[in-house]
Amino acid sequence: MPNLASDARVRAARLDSHGLARGLPSVTAAVRRLGAVQAQDFAASKWVLGARVRGSVAADVDAAIESREVLRSWPMRGTLHLVPAESLRDILAITGPRILQKATTTHRELGLDAEVYAAARGIAERELVGGRSLSRDELQAAWQSAGISTAGQRGYHLIWWLAHDGVLCCGPVEGRGQRFVLLDEWSPRVAPARARDATLTALFVAYLTGHGPATVQDFSWWSGLTLTDARAALAEAGDQVVAFDDERFVVSDSEPSESTGASRATGRHVLAAFDEYYLGYRDRGPVCDPAHAPRVVPGGNGVFQPTLVQNGRVVGLWRKVERARATSVTLDGFDGTIDPAAFTPRLREWARFWGRELGEVTALH
């Protein structure tokens, strides 16, 4: 039997690695710390970062994007993420081919072949060149005008394909979303491309920096890469990582084990839907009783709910209700009623992040 650390010790160490225990200095620092932040829900991804950068506001995330320090695209698992600008191309180089290969059947069913893709790419490059940007509707209208149907999921998959090939990415923030731009114009490459092995290693170390302790299976799930790749990354990382127990690893420059013992797993956190603290692992058992997992992801539909964390453990969910003058919040505990007063200070931080006034905080019985 493997010698594994207690769940309490794992939770304590993860609160530190995620930047939740002590906070991080900036939005860009938070994205770099986590390696990547799932961002299919753009608003949720902003609070993933806000929860780690005390005193920040939503506009700080927009500013990090507008400054080109952080990019939003589809680098892993076929879904949107926020990533450090310097990492996107190298990640796409190792994940993109695998993701596109898995999409072959879908593309064939949609009638998207190499000829259609080439035509769509040419139009996108022509419309976006010179620093221009287009909304999704505008880009799809350009394709439609050229005789390329965007019916059903065709338009989305053409954008998705172009992003995986590193042609375009999300650019200027507009309302609740972003406009599309050419990646090479919005964020020109400033360093030579890494070799595949070097990228694998860098991504593994980045993952452990912001998620450790974690297993190679956790990394494989998070990155969408094979277990063979994950094991190769561990081997190549060498002394950059160290064992936390018989299955989990942390970066070698993380703090000594006594500072991440069970006594450090304290405090309360109000986390966003899709927050990496819960989402970013294949095995989420150490931070949430598996019996409650169906409530975090109802029906296993991939839509993660906002969570309440106490002493490192996911203890319930929360839901906002927008009012005219304030935003009210309802708490839903997994094991009995949650005291609203316990989470109200964190909820005030969340409301301030969005420039809202916090209204009534109630708990379901």
Its pTM stands at: 0.95
Confidence (pLDDT) at 261 = 47
pLDDT over 80 (residue 140): yes
Report strand pairing: 307-310 vs 313-322.
Answer: antiparallel
Mean pLDDT of 317-342: 94
Q: Output Rg (C-alpha) for the chain, integer angstroms.
A: 21
Q: Which CATH number fits domain 87-186: 1.10.10.10, 3.40.50.1820, 2.30.30.90, 1.20.140.10?
A: 1.10.10.10
Confidence (pLDDT) at 178 = 98
Residues 6+ apart with CB under 8 A from 34: 18, 19, 210, 211, 276, 280
Mean pLDDT of 84-106: 97
299 or 144: which carries more pLDDT confidence?
144
pLDDT over 70 (residue 132): yes
Q: Where are the domains of the chain?
A: 87-186, 266-363
Angle, CA 190 vertex, CA 188 and CA 196 arms, to 5°: 100
> 72 has which bridge partners?
82, 170
For residue 213, the SS3 value is: coil
pLDDT over 90 (residue 300): no
* C-alpha to C-alpha distance for 243 and 28, rounded to whole angstroms: 28
How does residue 266 score in pLDDT terms, banded at 50, 70 and 90? confident
Mean pLDDT of 25-39: 98
Mean pLDDT of 235-264: 79
Contact 271, 280 (CB under 8 A): no
